[in-house]
Amino acid sequence: MTHWIRRPLPPYEEINVVFFRGMPLDTLVRELLAARRFPLAYGKGADWGVVLHDMLGWNNGDYDLVDYGQLCRGGGELAVFVTEPCIAKAHGPQFDYYQDGRLVTGLSFETPSYGTGEQPDLLAPALTAANLGGPHAEYDDDSDTRIACSIAAHFALSELDLPELDLP
């Protein structure tokens, strides 16, 4: 994943990966800082930019998720991977896609066939094609990577080298 950052990343565990478009990088960074989340790295692809930030706030006890809808309410789009939503409880990653302040679709990697948002089934065709959705879905040790790759392909996100992220 370091090819678009142009420098090696330390092994962060509790990070969120936020792809963005339709809004300037500095706007997103200001909003993250206002939400008390420290941006760790950023990059710009052909269509989407990407920011990695601390999942947890810099205040002690700030474990709340960022209100990403507020961050993109001016017409932007965010595709958000929460890589470790709850390490202590061993929850899997989750994904949410926001457009103009609204949650369009989202899913937990633990139950990818149960979406949320205005269009909960938006990713169903991509997940079914990867044999990850529907009644005959096959889950294995590689499922998280296959889910993330299916989502990235659906939204044409910048290429990710997922093994370097050390996703569960």
63-120 pLDDT, tens digit per residue, is: 677 899 999 988 899 999 888 766 545 567 889 999 999 999 999 888 888 899 999 9
Calpha distance 95→143 (Å, rounded) = 14
Residue 96 CB partners (closer than 8 Å, separation 6+): 68, 78, 79, 80, 82, 103, 105, 106, 116, 117
Q: In the prediction, which pLDDT does 168 show?
A: 30
Calpha distance 37→24 (Å, rounded) = 17
Region 13-57+65-159: CATH code = 3.30.70.1270
Q: In the prediction, which pLDDT does 31 show?
A: 93
Calpha distance 72→90 (Å, rounded) = 29
Q: In the prediction, which pLDDT does 110 show?
A: 84
Q: In the prediction, which pLDDT does 130 show?
A: 80
Q: What is the mean pLDDT of the chain?
A: 79
Q: Contact, 158 vs 19, CB < 8 A?
A: yes
15-40 pLDDT, tens digit per residue, is: 888 999 999 999 999 999 998 888 88
Scan for tokens 């299916």, then name that residue.
150
pLDDT-above-90 percentage for the chain: 34
**Mean pLDDT across 43-63:** 79
Q: What is the pTM of this model?
A: 0.83
